[in-house]
Amino acid sequence: NIPKTQKAAIVESHDAPIHIKDDHPVRQPEELAPGECLIKLDCTGVCHTDLHARKGDWPLPSKLPLIGGHEGVGKIVAIGAHTVSSPVNIGDRVGIKWLADSCLQCEQCRKGLEQSCAKAKLSGYTVDGTFSQYVVSYVSHVTPIPPNLSSEEAASFLCAGVTVYRALKYSKTNPGDWVVIPGAGGGLGHLAVQYATNAFGLRVVAVDTGEEKKKLCLELGAEKWIDFRESKDLVKDIKDAAGGDGPHAALVSAASSSAYEQAVDYLRPGGSLLVVGLPGKAQIGAPIFWTVVKSINIIGSYVGNRQDAREALEIAALGKAKCYLALKPLSALSEVYEGMEQGTVVGRVVLSMT
């Protein structure tokens, strides 16, 4: 009993309003290629990346018309005929992440850097994503969801969670080190605060703006808070907050280039700048002299591979990271984007599809 049509939020062009359709076709089981699966979604998170896709402000073109969304959770209702050795079955509850599919054969895939596969398919960007009731995804890349997490709780770990988990995992920090998180009150940032404290044993300086984000970050385990709009000297404030010498790492999860500008100045020598937030066509603008003399590591970190996604979810299932979320209907998508643009979304918005 798979319906022929569904509700879906469609970006027809980068400046037209989002079109919520009731009669978008559902790909039927007999239309699935080998390796594809059809998933009936319970819910999906809204990531700032979806807003970049909606606006078309990245140097990488998206498909159009486009159904955005890449933090979906739902049940597999069909698998393409002639699929060989599927790791998942009909009835399994799985997640759809940004990396929908990759070739699994190239050097990047063999090394576990499948995010950078030249043939990668991106959910809600180069293939239709999860802002719909049904989505077609790929058996080799969907992520099994631990049974003790609800779909709503799990959704944002498929992008926000796995991304910050991986960035911290390769941050060259040790337990007890300080990490500063500009963007700490947003979707990625508030999960980064928790992974940093509860999984990696780091001490957190949270940087963002507004009372609500301050309260959330401190509740989630940040030791220090700095409001970037109120600080008169951000470099000094961040250094002071991190014991005087500055943090050992900066995980920049803000969607603004200004959040990167002073990182090399406030980082401790030997420190790591984790480049995560993706403002449009911006440059990092790090001073070469101090990058060299302070031996700064600049590390670009792009979502995570299949194993990172499982690890990020396992840690969430242990209760060590929880998504602070507001549940809304699909029809709220445009206003969610407006809030994100204005910086008023605290934590994450998750859209219910049921």
- Residues of this chain that interact with ligand 8ID (CB under 6 A) are 47-49, 52, 159-160, 163, 182-183, 185-189, 207-209, 213, 228, 253-256, 258-259, 276-279, 301-303, 340, 343, 345
49 binds Zn ion (CB under 5 A): yes
Q: Identify what 276 binds: Zn ion, ligand 8ID, none; CB under 5 to 8 Å per kind.
A: ligand 8ID
6 binds Zn ion (CB under 5 A): no
**Residue 256: Cβ within 10 Å count:** 16
Q: Least distance (Å) from ligand 8ID to the CB of residue 130?
A: 14
Question: Any idea which residue has 């054969």 for tokens?
Answer: 105
Q: What is the DSSP string of 89-126?
A: -TT-EEEE-SEEE--SSSHHHHTT-GGG-TT-EEBTTT
Q: Least distance (Å) from ligand 8ID to the CB of residue 66?
A: 15
Supply 247's token pair: 């943090």
Q: Identify what 187 binds: Zn ion, ligand 8ID, none; CB under 5 to 8 Å per kind.
A: ligand 8ID
Q: Least distance (Å) from ligand 8ID to the CB of residue 17?
A: 20
Please state the φ and ψ torsions of residue 136, each to the nearest 5 degrees: -95, 125
Q: Least distance (Å) from ligand 8ID to the CB of residue 352?
A: 19
Strands (E), the chain: 5-10, 19-25, 36-46, 72-79, 93-96, 99-101, 121-122, 134-138, 143-144, 178-182, 203-208, 224-227, 249-252, 272-275, 297-300, 325-329, 348-352
Q: Where in 122-181 is the site for Zn ion (CB under 5 A)? A: 159
Yes or no: say if 124 and 52 are a contact pair by the CB < 8 Å rule.
Answer: no
Closest chain position to Zn ion (CB): 47
| Cβ closest to Zn ion, residue 86 vs residue 151 | 151
Selected from 9, 47, 220, 276, the binder of Zn ion by CB under 5 A is: 47
349 binds Zn ion (CB under 5 A): no
In the complex, the residues that contact Zn ion under the rule CB under 5 A are 47, 49, 159
